[in-house]
Chain A
Amino acid sequence: MSRPGRDDAPDRLYTITRGRIGAGAGSPLDLVTLIVAESAAATGMQSEHVAILRLAEFPTSVVEIAAELRLPVSITKVLLSDLLATGHVSARHPRRPAITDPDILEQVLVGLRNL
């Protein structure tokens, strides 16, 4: 299995996002933001958008979507921004900052111990 994007010509990635180079540091999407599809795919949708809607039938992280689509994370974020803007998906952002939230830390510890 090839790595995402690695063997792709840059112009393929350029085409997928119609020239947008990627959600930069300003993107609200984190690697672990969970994406949930809010509607079924519509006819005429870009194939990558259709694939995302299928993947996100259950909550699915941005990084998993990138890996499954074999696209770089930044390109995936552009595609997700499109779907967020049209209301086809919703985003569940990580609670911040987890590091200073003792309740979350305790939940993580309990979860790990139960593995």
Chain B
Amino acid sequence: MDSAISDARTPLGASADNGLKIVVVGGFGVGKTTLVRSVSEIRPLNTEETMTQAGESVDDIAHVGTKTATTVAFDFGRITLDAHNVLYLFGAPGQERFWFLWDRLFSGTLGAVVLVDTRRIDDSWYAIDRLEHHGTPFIVACNDFGGPVRAGADVREALDLDPDVPLVDCDARSRESAKEVLITLVRHVQARYATAAGVRGELV
């Protein structure tokens, strides 16, 4: 058992008491793990969750009788924000089976970053649709792969994004750039909250 635990663990401070989540969703090879690694204080770790469902038809998974096991693997990193708050950054695949586990894994998430490769923009539609469905605040970040840059308006139109959803360019390899992406998301969540609070205030 001992050898299974990595030697170079960086423990949290003793006063840490509030874990927060941000999820980075995107297609295969879009740079989710790279972005997580850029800002994480630990080497990204990998784990998985399995859910057994009866009678559901889901792709490429083990069948046991009539039950189906859905397994989703995801990476994560960690950022200590202050003496109490610890932010966990999850890189998760956006494919269909992942969304079966969204509520179990990512309920209460602060928000999501949809990481997009503008050469394969179609990969992101499903994730955006699901995030809207779950009411999760999100922003869209286009990872720079050195190809021709598509104009923001183009991407916004191709993704059919609401005008209030922030759309930014980023370089997932850069710590500063990844940090800016996260700051953009949190500011967006703040703005959404302020709007919601304002609406409530008017009703009172």
Contacts and interface: CB of A to CB of B under 8 A. Distances in A.
Interface residues of A, number: 53
Contacts of A67: 45-47, 76
A32 B4 contact: no
Contacts, number: 168
Contacts of A66: 47
A4 B73 CA distance: 9
Interface residues of B, number: 59
B52 A21 contact: yes
A32 B193 contact: no
Contacts of A100: 193, 196
A100 B195 CA distance: 11
A68 B52 CA distance: 23
A55 interface: yes
Interface string B124-161: 00000000000001000000000000000000000000
A90 B182 CA distance: 30
Contacts of B14: 58-59
Contacts of A50: 1
Most buried by A among B18, B111, B194: B18
Contact of A58 (B2, B12, B187): B12
Contacts of A110: 81-82
Given A60-B11, A73-B47, A31 B21 contact: yes
B130 to A, nearest CB: 17
Contacts of A31: 19, 21, 88, 90, 105-106
Interface of A: 3-6, 21-22, 25, 30-34, 47-48, 50-51, 54-55, 57-61, 63-64, 66-70, 72-74, 92, 94-100, 102, 104-113, 115
Interface of B: 1-2, 4-6, 9, 11-14, 16-21, 39, 45-52, 71, 73, 76, 78-82, 84-88, 90, 103-106, 108, 110-111, 137, 175, 179, 182-183, 186-187, 189-190, 193-194, 196-197
